[in-house]
A = this chain, B = another copy of it.
Amino acid sequence: MDRRQMLQEASDFILQNDDFLLITHVQPDGDALGSTLGFAHLLQALGKRYAIAVEEPIPAKFRFLPMSDRIQLASQISRRFSKIVALDCGDIKRFGRCAEFLEPQADILNIDHHKTNDCFGRANLVDLEAAATSQIVFNLASFMGTEIGRDMSVCLYTGILTDTGGFRYGNTTVEVHTIAAELLRNGVSPYDVADRVLETLTWSQLQLIREGLKSLQKDELGKVAWMVVERDLLDRLGAGDEDAEGLVSYARNVQGVEVGILFREKADGTVKASLRSKYHVDVGEIALSLGGGGHARAAGCTLAGPVDKAVAEVLLKVRESLPS
């Protein structure tokens, strides 16, 4: 099915139905929330009824997103829905607890850009060329001729900004910049958004960078670099798991390195490995083989502890994947 047909199908799904439940993936990032709230603005403009459910409270840095106060926790949802819109979810497992709110035969509109998307919806608007699901929502709103106001633009811009790593990743295309120009024209202040979602660091995060860098190591060829954040450190600094997220970029950005990894000990003793690569290694494949998932340049998986064992297990897989 070509792009135009998919857009038509999604448009029909929206126009012919009402009372939607909007769902995105667990531990939502900027694109998950940006695309979901951007889509909510689209429904708002069309006068449709909807609810938005997430499993856990959204990160503080995304609470500036217009209409983020419309997001409900799973615990606040008291009924089931027959019309579901899933945004930025590669598969139904990524719904987490929110899957409970689907009626047995619920119809799903699946809007996503992950290459692992298995087209689980009755209607599927899956565009693997898109840098962000927010970009797809922009194209859908344009296709439907809906006005994209400032608030909706802020949401979509946030999703595009975060999923392109601030217009830096290889997925940053001519279309991405053309849409960004359009969103700025609609009133987005790029500085405000970047400052909130990409630049600002809490005091805990800064201490974590300083302490985390002490663990930075390279392999003998200088192609793999990794850092380890043990539970003790997080507890000592009063830092949360989300504070450690950005650390992986320090490993990835070491001059000459192809794969950067952050190992983070979780409260339950398991170890979260976040993998990033530069040019050659498909870390999505590596993560998938270890029970996780993601994209070719950014992926993650969770392993059994202790940390040393998890590090050895991942490094072995990564070394096998390095081009010789």
Contacts and interface: CB of A to CB of B under 8 A. Distances in A.
Interface of A: 165-170, 172-175, 177-178, 180-181, 184-185, 189-191, 194-195, 198-203, 206-207, 209-210, 213-214, 216, 218, 249-250, 252-255, 278
A174 B181 contact: yes
Contacts of A207: 213
11 contacts: A168-B194, A169-B191, A170-B190, A177-B178, A178-B178, A195-B278, A199-B249, A199-B253, A203-B218, A209-B210, A209-B213
Nearest to A181: B177
Nearest to A205: B255
Contacts of A172: 184, 190-191
B189 A250 contact: no
A130 to B, nearest CB: 15
Contacts of A181: 174-175, 177-178, 181
Contacts of A168: 166, 190-191, 194-195, 198-199
Contacts of A199: 168, 249, 252-253
Main secondary structure of the interface of A (DSSP, over half): helix
A142 to B, nearest CB: 16
Q: Which of A207, A213, A250, A255 has the most CB of B within 10 A?
A: A255
A20 to B, nearest CB: 32
Contact of A210 (B173, B210, B218, B278): B210
Task: Please give me the 5 A-B residue pairs with the lowest Cβ-Cβ distance, nearest first.
Answer: A177-B181, A168-B194, A210-B213, A170-B191, A172-B190
Given A170-B190, A195-B278, A202-B255, 20 more contacts: A166-B167, A166-B168, A167-B180, A167-B190, A168-B190, A168-B195, A169-B190, A170-B189, A173-B184, A177-B177, A177-B180, A199-B249, A199-B252, A206-B213, A206-B216, A206-B250, A206-B254, A209-B250, A210-B213, A210-B214
Contacts of A189: 170
Nearest to A201: B253
B167 A167 contact: yes
Given A166-B167, A200-B255, A201-B255, A184 B174 contact: yes
A181 B253 CA distance: 25
Nearest to A251: B206
A254 to B, nearest CB: 6
B177 A250 contact: no
A120 B209 CA distance: 45
A172 B194 CA distance: 11
A192 to B, nearest CB: 9
Contacts of A201: 250, 253-255
Nearest to A61: B255
A203 B255 contact: yes
A214 to B, nearest CB: 7
A69 B99 CA distance: 59
A199 B257 CA distance: 12
A197 to B, nearest CB: 10
